[in-house]
Structure 1
């Protein structure tokens, strides 16, 4: 795609009239009008722009240092000083719909005395609108939230009281769970958390909950879930769901039953998620 030629020597007279007319009538701040003398015109186009698609226009922001601006946009077409402010001018090519021509737009970056960006400006509103349309990427499609599920299984079904070896009923229940998870998830990540009641010592309950979680992981792996996608941990008696006050042993044991459990937390891992 070749840049539009705005003015050349064969059109000198017409071009000079156009420039002088433009200078007299255009008051679009903050671009001061300048009269171009005929002797400054050559055979090359008056303005040559760089294609907008190779410029990182949307990344220019306030406070950005000049070195970073130049790294993104390259050197400006020219640099001028107005008081203690530096002005960098770029000519940017935008495609014109319906043809292979281009519109060359003037883009100015004003720098503070400390060399950081103070403001940016387009010469024409049309150019500003084109820049917003063509250089601002569409919002990224929001990723769906991962599907999360928590399955709570009673330890009294999975294990004998105080035991960490699965019962036949417990194995059947876990095979059913594995089948359901494989049907619902393509790439599941599973966390298995063992819990106990407060009967017994703290350390023994912590160890029992860990062994139970690991037993569940082994059974789920045998039933088709990836062992490497499962984490087993024991939390002992630290996260009760009920608090019981009775002193009667059997009554207390029955009351604390909800605390004896294994929780299976599952979520769908996105593609590229290594967690």
Structure 2
């Protein structure tokens, strides 16, 4: 069956006229803008794209200005509408995106404008808020919890005492030298005193506070700025070791790790 040239031309013109309502008007030569953006009705997609598609978001993020049509189609497929026959300067899509938090689906229209050389130059969304899907979620940087410097209470003080021993002062001398050598590398020094569970709660709280203050006062005498140092006692809370019902001397030795002073630099 032979089809006349006039018939072919008429059919082509009909397709072109039908597409006029679906394409933007006065697309700039450089593809950077249009006199009027026209959005085709989502119901007028081609049969193979009926209902729109769920694009590969990683691929969609790769679409950039300067890509040719083959490169665009490799990433997100061919357009979902029949934009016409000659000189196509735009592609339109209907995309769906699923909300990972509540499984809701958001529907968006996406438009690519091409320059005279058919290279992608500008991109549009309807509604404009849909552009947010391209933003990659950047996880908040994890803030490492400062690791405390732990000083054995028995190394700093005699048992049941808040007076620094000679060995305790030497240990704090080394810490003071380190702090003074760091200059402004830290914002504050937090000193926490702990006791074991022997004795009353009130007594242990008071002893832990006196020990924490003793460490603070000594560091100040060694040149560490007093405004940077806070000291607090926590009594017998937060033990690091549990012990049974050993005889007193053995129990005192077993509970030694709980008698400590922690220094945290922030």
Q: Is the CA contact 1:158–1:167 (under 8 Å) kept in the aligned structure 2?
A: yes
1-side partners of 2:265 and 2:42: how far apart? 64
Determine if the alignment matches structure 1 residue 156 to structure 2 residue 142: no
SS in 1 for 2:245: coil
1-side partners of 2:13 and 2:228: how far apart? 69
**Per-residue deviation, residues 54-94 of structure 1 (Å, max 9, x unmatched):** xxxxxxxxxxxxxxxxxxxxxx956778499xxxxxxxxx9
Cα separation, partners in 2 of 1:238 and 1:138, compared to 1, 3 Å:
closer
Counterparts of 1:84-99 in structure 2, within 5 Å, are none
Shift of 1:170: 1.8
The match for 2:20 is 34
The match for 1:122 is 111
The match for 1:239 is 238
TM-score by length of 1: 0.49
List alignment gaps of at least 5 residues for structure 2. Answer: 1-11, 44-63, 68-88, 96-105, 125-131
Q: Is the CA contact 1:198–1:205 (under 8 Å) kept in the aligned structure 2?
A: yes
Cα separation, partners in 2 of 1:130 and 1:217, compared to 1, 3 Å:
farther
Determine if the alignment matches structure 1 residue 46 to structure 2 residue 26: yes
Shift of 1:209: 0.7
2-side partners of 1:151 and 1:217: how far apart? 14
The match for 1:8 is none
TM-score by length of 2: 0.50
List alignment gaps of at least 5 residues for structure 1. Answer: 1-20, 27-31, 37-44, 53-75, 85-93, 98-103, 111-116, 268-275
Q: Is the CA contact 1:23–1:35 (under 8 Å) kept in the aligned structure 2?
A: no
Q: Is the CA contact 1:196–1:236 (under 8 Å) kept in the aligned structure 2?
A: yes
Q: Is the CA contact 1:122–1:128 (under 8 Å) kept in the aligned structure 2?
A: no
Q: Is the CA contact 1:208–1:236 (under 8 Å) kept in the aligned structure 2?
A: yes
The match for 1:206 is 205
2-side partners of 1:22 and 1:257: how far apart? 94
The match for 2:192 is 193
Cα separation, partners in 2 of 1:121 and 1:78, compared to 1, 3 Å:
closer
2-side partners of 1:107 and 1:150: how far apart? 58
Cα separation, partners in 2 of 1:139 and 1:237, compared to 1, 3 Å:
closer
Shift of 1:221: 3.2
Q: Is the CA contact 1:209–1:234 (under 8 Å) kept in the aligned structure 2?
A: yes
1-side partners of 2:92 and 2:228: how far apart? 53
Shift of 1:252: 2.9
Count of aligned pairs: 188
Shift of 1:215: 1.9
RMSD: 4.9
